[in-house]
Structure 1
């Protein structure tokens, strides 16, 4: 078992299968020593567990859990192109999109779900730059979407 696999087991986290694209793109690409993921929806076994907007249809806590799932889906995409998450040297950037009801301003707290799980898994290497952006609507009416930029060796 790898170090990251051991850490995931300690945390009780099972890395999901790579989410198949819902349009014309690939889940992740490598450029130099960076992996860029496509926007990851919070799919669980091919299904969105919730739809709608934060501040109307989805609670902050539920949104945070959905952002966590997006990050795990992103890590699955990273692993699919580099072979092992043990090769990750740093989570460089997280970009989170939150489908938001007008006036909703809790986007940073929602995207903390992604940031926190990355920190739990990678420790200091999981500390990253980040954007949390409110948007009118996301693909498939998803409440959240997360992109990762990951450095590897």
Structure 2
């Protein structure tokens, strides 16, 4: 089953690539690596998650926002490689979580992205990851996700 078929089986639709919010591109390939820009939880042009996790946003909702970010990152990846079956491995994922000062559950939030990548790519989607709490993200997003993929 292709990654695109897995996305459909999960009941998801691969979105259009989120247009850049500033002077950058959604993804860049160099050699066999594709780097995505940070993806916020945009759904049909609207931000799905606003505010600080642990204050305005529950960790469970933020985990869902991370899943949306990962789906947007997959769309950016596909825009560079054409077919997701060209992905040999998701190498690294970085999850930024807009966090209330006392919130320390960033790894749990990041699982929303990591689990989706595993579900879509199987063993090729299991990756190294950092989950980092930050004071603020663009547009007051709750979560932002970027990834590095190795492709053939």
**TM-score bucket (shorter structure):** over 0.9
**Residues 26, 37 of structure 2: 8 Å contact kept:** yes
Please give the alpha-carbon distance, in whole angstroms, between the structure 2 residues aligned to 1:8 and 1:104.
31
Please give the alpha-carbon distance, in whole angstroms, between the structure 1 residues aligned to 2:2 and 2:122.
12
Match of 2:142 in 1: 143
* Number of residue-to-residue matches in the alignment: 152
Match of 1:9 in 2: 8
Match of 2:18 in 1: 19
Unaligned 5+ segments in structure 1 are none
Match of 1:28 in 2: 27
Structure 1 segment 76-115 matched on structure 2, within 5 A: 76-115=75-114
Please give the alpha-carbon distance, in whole angstroms, between the structure 1 residues aligned to 2:7 and 2:119.
9
TM-score by length of 1: 0.97
TM-score by length of 2: 0.98
1:50 deviates by: 2.3
1:3 deviates by: 1.6
In angstroms, what is the RMSD of aligned CA positions?
0.8
Q: Which runs of 4+ in 1 moved over 4 A?
A: none
Match of 1:60 in 2: 59
Please give the alpha-carbon distance, in whole angstroms, between the structure 2 residues aligned to 1:32 and 1:88.
13
Unaligned 5+ segments in structure 2 are none
